[in-house]
Structure formats: structure tokens, C-alpha cells
Structure 1
Amino acid sequence: MNLKAVTTLNELRHWFLLNQVSNKELYVIGILIVLSLLVAVFTKRFGIPTVVGYVFLGILVSVSVVKKVPLLSQVTKDWYAFLVESFDYVSNLALAFIALTIGTELSINVLKNLGKKIILIVIFESFGAFILVTASMLTLGKPFYLALLLGAISSATAPAATVMVLQEYNAEGNLTSTLLAVVGIDDALALTIFSFAEPIALIKAKGSGHLSLVTAIVHPVIEILGSVVVGLIIGYLSQLYITAVEDKTKRILTLVATVLGCSSLAVYANLSPLLTNMAVGFAYTNFSTKNLGIAEDMEVITIPLYAMFFVLAGTKIKIMQITSVGFLVLALVYTAARLIGKVGGASLGATIAGADDKIKKYIGLGLLSQVGVAIALAYTIQRDFAQFPELAVLIFNILLFTTAITEVIGPLATKYAVSMADEIKK
């Protein structure tokens, strides 16, 4: 680290101390957690999925709304905007634990029984959304690179809302097991599609260059396989220790250390934290000689984390900035094409695979949510397409518009699906 960098860090540290940034962060976190508690009480009382309440709360306390509050000074509004944007690490932590939870549901025995069905459902719903969104964007006359990026992102399904609803209502059964397996494998396939699509889109956006075999195939394959291998190794070692100890403190600290350690290692090695933690969860379930009993520990650890995750997701929905008719048409077409691709593709895949009737009817309803993985991919576009800043802004706005819809109807649709399948435990 050179002298200039050290000087800058010292100045930044002094600025944080001078402005008591840590205290201001505590104020915001405290307010959001208290409001989350009130939301949880309200939604439980009226039988509404809690995640819907969290997202609505996030919309109400979003920067675009707070900036319109006349009682607050401009300095307070600016500080609030700065602090809310600085909480991105909460989303990363929540996604890591969610990935672990999904991995624990991927039992080899379940996959053997449902393997063909799950694979067909994932392929049809992921590529259904990818193809329909890409085609619809091209039909609207949008550039090929934009259509390709939006198509790749649309294939992702955010597992957070689905997992949280299933846990909240203690859902159990064939549909629930299939749904958890599908959302887990779905993200792996979505990351694969995006890894192949992004280099092509970048070359098309630049209008020059050529697509090499290394860029198009080798790098994505290394990232995917590396993430899985690292996760399986760490998960195997972690479950050995958890199996050997009885002390609850050691078990919880081992669990948290594993998730955070895996995430850090994956980021450092340019791997996928999501796939790495999913592989850890898979190792927990399939390599352990006994039931590790981590479900209750996970639930206690993640309740406030998930609450903050969905509230912060809601704060990113900038409803007041969505005014253009052209943008609304683009966003609505994207949303409709993605929903049709997901629901229709999942049902078609289940039908071809000969799945149960309740899976054919309702599996697609649990795949509507998008915030999480899609936003992470949008950040990747913002980084890799730095010379096209307007492209990243447009994609973010489309995703946030879609989020405003899917994060409300998605959890409700998931609850409806498991309810109609009679898999909610009384």
C-alpha cells in the first residue's frame, strides 16, 4: 500500500470518527428493526406472509420517499441515503445463509426420487424465461446485448422469499421438497447462463473484439466447479466438527464461521459465494452420519437478518423515478415475459417429467420472486459495463420495478401454492 493510499485511509477514518458514522448506522438499524417487529405483529395477525410486510416497509422508508418528507433537513436526508446504501453487506450475508438453507434441502435420496422431474422443471422454467424475455426485448427493437443481458438475468429465481414463506408456514410435502430443490438448482443454472451470456453481450455492446473459448466457456466452468468443490470440502470438514461437539455455543459459532468463511474465500478466489454455501449445505445433509439439527439454530440466527434483507430490498425500489411511458412498457413486457416463462416452463417441464398433479399446477407459483441473485448480477453488469453506465441504470430500474411486483405477489403465490397442495402444517 503506497503513502497516498495510507493517507486517504487515515483521512477517511478521521472523517468517520468526526461525523460519528457508527452511531448514525446504529440509529438506522435500530429504527428498521423496531419497525420490522411492528410489521411482523401486523402480518401475523392478518395471516399475510411476513416478507410482504417487510418489502412494503422498505418501500415506505426508501430514499426516494424519505427525500419527500418535509419535516427532515436536507443533511438528514443525505445521511440517510448514504447509510442505507452502505448496508449492502446485509444482503450478502442473508443470501449466504439462504444458500446454505437451500443446500441442506438437496438430499441425495430426494434428488434420486425426484431427479428427472427437478432437472426438467429447472431447464424449462429457466430457459423459458430466458428465451421469452430475450425475444420480447428484440421484438420491442432493443439492442441484442440488452436483450441478452435481461434474458439471462430473468432466468434467476430469488430463493429468499420462497424459503422464508415455506419456513414461516412449516410447509412439508412433495411440492415443498420439489420447490426447494428447484430454486436451489435454478440459481446454479441462472449463474451458468449469465456467465456465458455476459461476455457475448459485452462484445456486442463494444461493437468490436472477438469471443474467445477461454472467456466464453473455460472461465464460467472453472467458477462453477471451483465453487462446488470448495463448498463440499469445507462443508465436509465443518459437519465433522459439528457432529463431534455437543456444546450449543460451539455449534452455532462453527455454523456462522463456516458461512462467513466460505463467503469470504469465494469472493477472494473469484468464485460464487451462493454456489459455495449451497455446496456446504449439501455436504451437511448428505455427508453427516446423523441429523445435525441445525435448522433451529439457523432459524434463530437468521430472523433479524432476513428482516433487514427484505426491508433493504424494498428501499431499493424507486417508485417515484418510474415515470416514462417508454420505460413502463419495457418493464411491463419484461415482467410479463418472465412470469409466463417461469410459470409456463415449470408446468411444461413437470408435465413432460410425469410429476404429480399438484406439482404441475402449482410449482411455477413458487418461482416468481427475483430480488437477490438478479440484483447481484446487475451489480456485475455495473462493474463490467462501466463504460456504458446508462445500461446498468436501465437494468437496475427494470429489476427494481419488477421487484415491486414480484416481491408482493411472489410470497402470496407461494403461500397459495402450498396451501392448495395441502402442505401447510396446522
Structure 2
Amino acid sequence: MAFDFGSVSARRIGRLLTLVVIALLAALFRGLGPLEGLASSTMLLGFLLLAAFVAGELARDLSLPRITGYLAIGILFGPHVLRLLPQDIVEGFRLINGVALSVIALQAGGELRISHVGERLANILTTTVLQIALILVGVTAAVFLASGLLPALAGQGHRVILAVALIFGLVAVANSPATIIAVMTELRARGPLADTVLGVSVLKDVLVLLLIAVIIPAAVVLVEPARGFDLHQVGELSLRIGLALACGGVVGWLIGLYLEKVAAQPILFVLAAAFAIVELTEVLGLESEFYILLSMSAGFVVQNFSIQGPRFVRALEANSLPLYALFFAVAGADLDLGAIPVVWKAGIVIIVVRAALMYLSTLLGAVATGEPPVIRQHAWVGFIAQAGVTLGLATIVRDRFADWGGDQVAAVIIAMIAVNQLVGPPLFRLALLRGGEASPDSGRLSTR
């Protein structure tokens, strides 16, 4: 019986077989000897990108977002499942991954048009405040009451339990602008739903950085009252946020100037700018999260204060696929799903409570500002996915609070990210389709 290779089922089988071949080649390469040097890292990066691209197309065939395929292949190839990518190799991808995330953040900023966001400003501000307040308080209370589900908290006093609960409340507030912009780009989505979700997500990303400066020291004080609360940290972080925004404005002006005066190979210049942004944050002594903020600020300036804004966004959209594949595949490889069996009960409680409060706060914000049904019913799913800053929080908790269950708390955070990042993108894709905001020709983006 001959296969019709034009059929959907034949394409799926072909892509699955291609993934198997790539995995076997990667395994063969690993078996040749020790993985050392730039050549080995580059070869494995090539295998990962090829596999991510094929997995993304397979996900499209299954009516899932491409990034679900990227994440899944990263998890599969990563150091915790097939182990085709050792942990040190994954860590070696951080700079390249940082450049990819910087470009994605540039695009996120470029999608924030003042004319569109201004129409939804009341809802964006109201929803942001409600989400932060309800989720921070609600998840903190839920973890405090269900602390018995975390073995690390057994026998701990109320102050330690409250400190851990506050950290989980902070983690629950954060979401992933990179994931949102990836799904929007794939569907070429435009409309009030997309504008609202992206606007709230970007604003929350800024505010979460401020919350980190308040809540992490507060958690430390709860456990060790003698240390006292350092207001200097809050002021210092506020200055860093201002510095990142200002530097982003300058970078955005330079990108706009180049696109207007030179115009040649815009994507190459933008890639160079993204690399410069990552290096600039290092020179300024800023944490890695700040290049996301700096990049979003730069993209916002190009879009709204340069006549080249539309061209800038088109160039990013046309060349974004390998960057998304790289970023989300490496993010998947970073996720340790082995932690889930140990902490699954606590993880389920937090995920469910977070989702319920996300729905409630988004609904209340939409009702209060008179938004249409599409936002009331569907906007909340855009905030489910988590990555970026949330992964950074897991590292902070593991490093700073090792003496009172930091490793286990970090494991729960990573488990939350894994579940939310796998569930969130398909739900947001479905919401954009049901809301009628996907471009009619977005299906042509899939390579057949």
C-alpha cells in the first residue's frame, strides 16, 4: 500500500521519522567521545534547531502552537530525559539564547502601538492591578493553608511558612511576554484581545522586577528578623529599571536612525543590536532580566517614535522562526520534570488557584472598564504561560534559601513553569482563533 505523502497523516509520520533520525544522529555524535569546545556545542545546537523546527511543524499539524513543539523537543533532548544535551552544553547556550530572547523582546515592544494600547489603557491598568493583588494574596494564602503538602515545611514555624508562601505568590503573578508574542506572531494576530494581553503582560513584567526587590527581602526578614529590611535595595532596583528603560530608548532611537538612513539588511542590524543589548546589561552590572526590559523599551521607541516602525516589526516577524525555535527549545531543555513526582500535590494546588484567580481578576478588570465579551471570556488564558523572569526566581530561591527548603521550593516553581508553559500556549492560540483575531492566511506560515 503506497503512502500519499501529501496527506496530513503521511506528513505527520514523515516528521516523526525525521525527529527519530535527528535524535539518532545526535546520539551517535555524543557517542564519538567527550563533548568539548565550540565545535561540539555548535553541532549539538544544530541538531537541536533542526529537531525543534520539525517538532514545531508537527505541532502545527496537530493544531498546536509551534512553541509547544519547541518546548517538547527541548525537554526530550535535554539533560533530564534523553540526555542528548548535557547540562554544561545547555548552560553554554545562555548567551545565544539571551540574544534570541532580546530579539523576541524587541518584537514585543514593537507590537505595543500607542494608538492601540491607548484605547485599552484603562483595562490594561485595572487588570494589571487586580491580577497582582488577587494572585499575590490568594496564592500566598493557599500555600500557607496547604503547607503540609510540602515536606520541606514540615515542622517549620509560621514565619518560615509565610515567607515561602509569599515567594510562591510572587512567582504566580509573573507570566511570559515572550510566549505571548510567539503565539501572536505565528497567527499574525491583531485586535483588542491581543493588544490587551500583551499590554498587561509587558507592564506586569516591569512591576514583577519591583516586587522582587520588596518580597524577597521581606521573606528573608520573616525568617531572620535580625537582618532587617533594606529599603536601599528597593531604591537601587528602581534606579536600575529607569536606567534600563532609558538605555532602551537610546538603542531604539539608533535602530530607527539606521533603518531610516541606511536601510540595508535590517534584520542583521537588529541582531547586532540585540547582542549589544545583552552585553550592555553586563557592562552596566544589571541582572539578565533587565535586557528583556531594555529590549522591550527599544522596540517600543522604534515602533512609536520612528517612521520605520512597521518595517521594523515586519523584518522581525519574517525572520523570527529560528529565534523562537532556539529560545523555547533551550528553555525546554532547562526544565527538570523529574521534580514533579515529588512536589506534584503542592504544584497542582498552586496551578489551579493561580488559574482561577487569573480568570477572576481578568474578568473583573474587563467588566469594570466595559470591555467586550471576547476579552471577558478569553483574555485570561494569555497569562497562564510562564518563563523568563520566573525561571530566574527559581534560581534566586534555590541559591538564597537553601537552609529552609530552597531546593524543594525551586522544584515546585520549575514544575509550575513546565505545566503552565505546556498548557498556556495552546489555550492562548485557541482564544485568539475563537476571538477572530488570527489572520486568515496565518496557516500559510506552516511549511508543508
Relative to the length of structure 1, the TM-score reads 0.86
2:240 pairs with 204, 212, 223, which one?
Answer: 223
Partner of 1:14: none
Give deviations 1:133-186, integer Å, cap 9, x for gaps: 111111124522211122112211112222111111111111112222122112
Where does structure 2 lack aligned partners over 5 or more consecutive residues? Answer: 1-33, 148-152, 154-160, 441-448
Give the whole-Å Cα distance in 1 for the aligned partners of 2:274 and 2:87: 29
Q: For the residues of structure 1 that align with 2:358 and 2:100, how far apart are their CA atoms?
A: 24
1:411 deviates by 0.9
Q: Kindly provide the amino acid, as one letter, of the partner of residue 333 in structure 2.
A: T
Cα distance, 1:118 vs. partner?
A: 0.8
- For residues 392 and 282 of structure 2, the distance between their equivalents in structure 1, rounded to whole angstroms, comes to 13
Q: Given residue 135 of structure 1, which amino acid in structure 2 is its aligned partner?
A: A
State the alpha-carbon separation in 1 of the partners of residues 406 and 52 from structure 2.
31
Determine the C-alpha separation between the residues in 1 that align with 2:373 and 2:298. Answer: 32
1:361-400 pair list within 5 angstroms: 361-383=377-399, 385=400, 388=402, 391-400=405-414
**1:258-313 deviations in whole A, cap 9, x for unaligned?**
22222322233244212111110111111113445022321344322211221222
Among 214, 230, 234, the residue aligned to 2:251: 234
Match of 1:421 among 412, 427, 435: 435
Alignment correspondent of 1:72 = none
For 1:65, what is the secondary structure of its paired residue? coil
Q: Is 2:268 the counterpart of 1:253?
A: yes
Say if 2:131 is the partner of 1:136. no
The separation in 2 between residues aligned to 1:168 and 1:373, in whole angstroms, is: 23
Separation in 2, partners of 1:89, 1:316:
14
Alignment partner of 1:155 is 2:173: yes
CA contact (8 A) 2:90 2:334 kept: no
1:424 shift after superposition:
1.2
- What is the CA-CA distance between 1:358 and the residue it aligns to? 0.8
For residues 357 and 19 of structure 1, the distance between their equivalents in structure 2, rounded to whole angstroms, comes to 54
Q: For 1:170-181, what aligned pairs fall within 5 Å after superposition?
A: 170-181=188-199
State the identity %. 23
Q: In structure 1, what residue type is equivalent to 2:420?
A: T
Deviation, structure 1 residue 50: 0.9
User: 2:419 matched to 1:405?
Assistant: yes
- For residue 367 of structure 1, report the CA deviation from its aligned partner: 0.7
1:19-418 paired onto structure 2 within 5 Å: 20-66=36-82, 80-141=86-147, 143-215=161-233, 217-248=234-265, 251-271=266-286, 272-324=290-342, 327-383=343-399, 385=400, 388=402, 391-418=405-432
Distance 1:256 1:390, change over 3 A: farther
CA contact (8 A) 1:135 1:147 kept: yes
Q: 1:362 to 1:260 in 2, by over 3 A?
A: same
Q: What per-residue deviation string (whole Å, max 9, x for no partner) do you get for residues 166-207 of structure 1?
A: 111111111112222122112112222222111112233334
What is the RMSD computed on CA atoms of the aligned residues? 2.2
Alignment partners' CA distance in 1, 2:95 and 2:404: 25
| Residues 273 and 114 of structure 1: CA distance in aligned 2, closer, same or farther (over 3 Å) | same
The Cα of 1:231 is off from its aligned counterpart by 1.1
Residues 197-253 of structure 1: per-residue CA shift (max 9 Å, x gap): 1111223333421113323x31222122221122112212331222112322xx333
Separation in structure 2 between the aligned mates of residue 52 and residue 335 of structure 1, nearest angstrom:
19
Q: Distance in 2 between matches of 1:183 and 1:369?
A: 11
Shift of 1:391: 4.1
- In the superposition, the TM-score normalised over structure 2's length comes to 0.82
Aligned AA (1:233)? V
CA contact (8 A) 1:99 1:277 kept: yes
Partner Cα separation in structure 2 for residue 152 and residue 269 of structure 1: 26
Deviation string 1:105-125 (CA, Å, 9 cap, x unpaired) is 222222321111111111212
How many residues get paired? 392
